[in-house]
Every structure is written in C-alpha cells, then in structure tokens.
C-alpha cells in the first residue's frame, strides 16, 4: 500500500513538472502546446549529448556533473521552447485556435523526427545512471536516487511558485492570463512575458527529461509522446491554466495509475486513467482547482 503511494508520487512528480509547462502556456495564450512532451525528450537528448561529449565521469562526481548538466539543459531547452514559440506560434497568435493547435502538432512531429534524423532512431543508453542504496520506510522500498529526484522536482516547483507569486514578471504573467488586452494597455510587454513563459515551461520539461534519462537509463526520440499526453491529462485534472492545479494533478495522476493498475490489472490501467480524464472533462471541466473566472497562472 505505502509502496503504491510512493510509486505514484514518484511518477507523479515527473508528470507534474511537465504538466506545469502545459498549464502555464495554456493559461497565458490558450494554446495546447503539443510539442511540450517533445521538449522533455529534447532535454534528455541534450543532456545525453553533453554527458557523452565530456567523456568518462568518475562515479563520485556523477551527481555534481548531473546537476550542472541539468542546469545547462534547462537553459538550452528553454531557448528551444522560445524559438518554437517565435517561429511557429507567434505568427499565428491572431489566427483561429485550431490553426495554432495543428501547428503545435506539426512542431511535435518536427522535433521527434528531427531528433531521429540527427541522433538516429535507436534508443540510447544514458552515460550516467543514478544508482544508490534503497531502504524501507513503512513497508515501501525507497531508493536514494528517487529521493534526490523528488527533492529536485519539489525545489523546481516551489521556485516556480515563488517566482509567479513574488516577482514583477510573475505578476505580469498573471495579469496577461486574466486579460491580455488590458495588460497591453497597462504597459506590459506581452510578447516578452510570453517568451519568458515558454522559456520557463520548456526549461522545466527539459529538466524532467534529463532526470528521466539519468534515472531510467534509456532515452529514445518518441519518449515524449505518451508522457506528454499524461502530463496534459494531469493539467486537465488539476484545472488547466492553474499552476498549483498542475502540480496536484500530476501527483494525483501518478497515484491513480498506481492504484488503477493494482485494482484492475496492468492492461486496464490506461483505460482507468483516461476514463478518469473523460469523467473530469464531462463532470468538472475546470478541473480540481480551476474556477470559471479564475486567476490563471
């Protein structure tokens, strides 16, 4: 039982990190950025390229090296996210919503098969793998790498929350989410804020990608697809556009999967999970924390 809870929370923290980017972007420009899951994949590949170019890393240094690579990857994937927004979404800012949605799907395929063409379609094995002892707490087996990754994820989420609540850029994001035109009239540089939103969202997804690569050990160019869908589900469950909702939704989705698979068997897990998504969308389309007139982001 405690093992299930722990498993659920651990996977859920990955979902939450990616769901944040979905939710932030949706909150501000009402776009479902389907390329977001592929930014996660890109983060893993950028980290892979950095670590392999460094060469052999002594085991004692692996955590330090990984943290440095994590930060660098966040900058790179953040930059790529900004680039995608600039090239693919900004020119369509005033087009019908559907056009941007299709462009997002296009951006997703471009990233996937671009990486496949550059890095090859074979799965890659991450050069640094987080390994450590595990111990038992209340009957749940918990390993040191899991704790390290959970701590990083929680720190990133807390940092983001503080950034949105406390800084002027965060205030500007919230303002745009409420009323874009009004913000523009109040002298907020809307384009700059949207650029920052993409940067932060993509950096978080990139961080999740590096962490997944280091923990699970295998990366491939389609790894972002399913987790992207799951993160989207998490964002909807939590109330899309709501930052705390995305975090809560991610953790909840992780728990739903763990228990769904336990109760109904592995083959029914996704039926159960996505059944919950449908139920949420029909019964409470605003999600757990979303409100009809909500302060988005």
Q: Work out how close the CB of 50 gets to other proteins at its nearest, in angstroms, rounded to a whole number.
A: 19
Q: Work out how close the CB of 227 gets to other proteins at its nearest, in angstroms, rounded to a whole number.
A: 7
Which residues of this protein are in contact with other proteins, per CB under 8 A?
A: 3-4, 7, 10-11, 14, 113, 116, 121-123, 125, 129, 134, 141, 143, 212, 216-218, 220, 222-223, 225-227, 257-258, 261-262, 265-267, 269-270
Q: Work out how close the CB of 180 gets to other proteins at its nearest, in angstroms, rounded to a whole number.
A: 37
* C-alpha distances in Å from residue 77, one per residue of 49, 55, 69, 73, 260: 13, 22, 12, 6, 33
CB atoms within 10 A of CB 134: 14
Q: What is the separation of C-alpha 9 from the centre of its chain, rounded to a whole number of angstroms? A: 15
Nearer to other proteins, 138 or 158 (CB): 138
Nearer to other proteins, 97 or 263 (CB): 263
CB atoms within 10 A of CB 290: 22
Evaluate whether 10 touches 80 at the Cβ level (below 8 Å).
Answer: no
Q: Work out how close the CB of 283 gets to other proteins at its nearest, in angstroms, rounded to a whole number.
A: 25
Q: Work out how close the CB of 268 gets to other proteins at its nearest, in angstroms, rounded to a whole number.
A: 9
97-101 long-range Cβ contacts below 8 angstroms, 24+ apart:
97/30, 97/31, 100/31, 101/31, 101/32, 101/34
Nearer to other proteins, 86 or 259 (CB): 259
Nearer to other proteins, 166 or 218 (CB): 218
Q: Work out how close the CB of 270 gets to other proteins at its nearest, in angstroms, rounded to a whole number.
A: 6
Nearer to other proteins, 116 or 195 (CB): 116
CB atoms within 10 A of CB 24: 30
Element (H, E) at 59: none
Element (H, E) at 43: helix 36-54
- Please tell me the distance from the alpha carbon of residue 193 to that of residue 191, in angstroms, as a whole number: 5
Nearer to other proteins, 85 or 257 (CB): 257
């Amino acid at each position: 039982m405690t093992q299930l809870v722990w498993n659920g929370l651990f996977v859920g923290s990955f979902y939450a990190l990616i769901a944040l980017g979905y939710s932030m972007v949706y909150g501000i420009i009402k776009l479902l950025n389907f390329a977001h899951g592929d930014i996660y994949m890109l983060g893993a590949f950028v980290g892979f390229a950095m670590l392999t170019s460094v060469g052999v890393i002594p085991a004692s240094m692996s955590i330090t090296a990984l943290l440095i690579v994590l930060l660098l990857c966040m900058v790179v994937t953040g930059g790529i996210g900004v680039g995608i927004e600039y090239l693919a979404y900004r020119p369509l800012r005033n087009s019908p919503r559907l056009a941007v949605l299709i462009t997002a799907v296009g951006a997703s395929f471009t990233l996937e098969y671009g990486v496949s063409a550059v890095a090859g379609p074979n799965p890659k094995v991450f050069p640094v793998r987080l390994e450590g002892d595990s111990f038992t707490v209340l009957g749940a087996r918990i390993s040191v790498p899991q704790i390290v990754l959970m701590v990083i994820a929680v720190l990133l989420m807390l940092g983001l929350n503080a950034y949105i609540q406390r800084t002027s850029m965060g205030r500007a994001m919230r303002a745009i989410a409420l009323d874009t035109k009004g913000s523009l009239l109040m002298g907020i540089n809307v384009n700059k804020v949207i650029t920052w939103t993409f940067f932060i969202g993509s950096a978080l997804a990139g961080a999740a990608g590096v962490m997944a690569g280091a923990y699970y050990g295998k990366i491939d160019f389609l790894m972002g697809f399913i987790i992207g869908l799951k993160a989207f589900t998490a964002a909807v469950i939590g109330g899309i556009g709501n930052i705390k909702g995305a975090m809560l939704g991610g953790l909840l989705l992780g728990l739903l999967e763990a228990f769904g698979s336990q109760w109904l068997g592995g083959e029914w897990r996704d039926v159960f999970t996505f059944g919950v998504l449908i139920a949420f969308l029909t019964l409470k389309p605003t999600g757990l924390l979303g409100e009809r007139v909500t302060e988005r982001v």
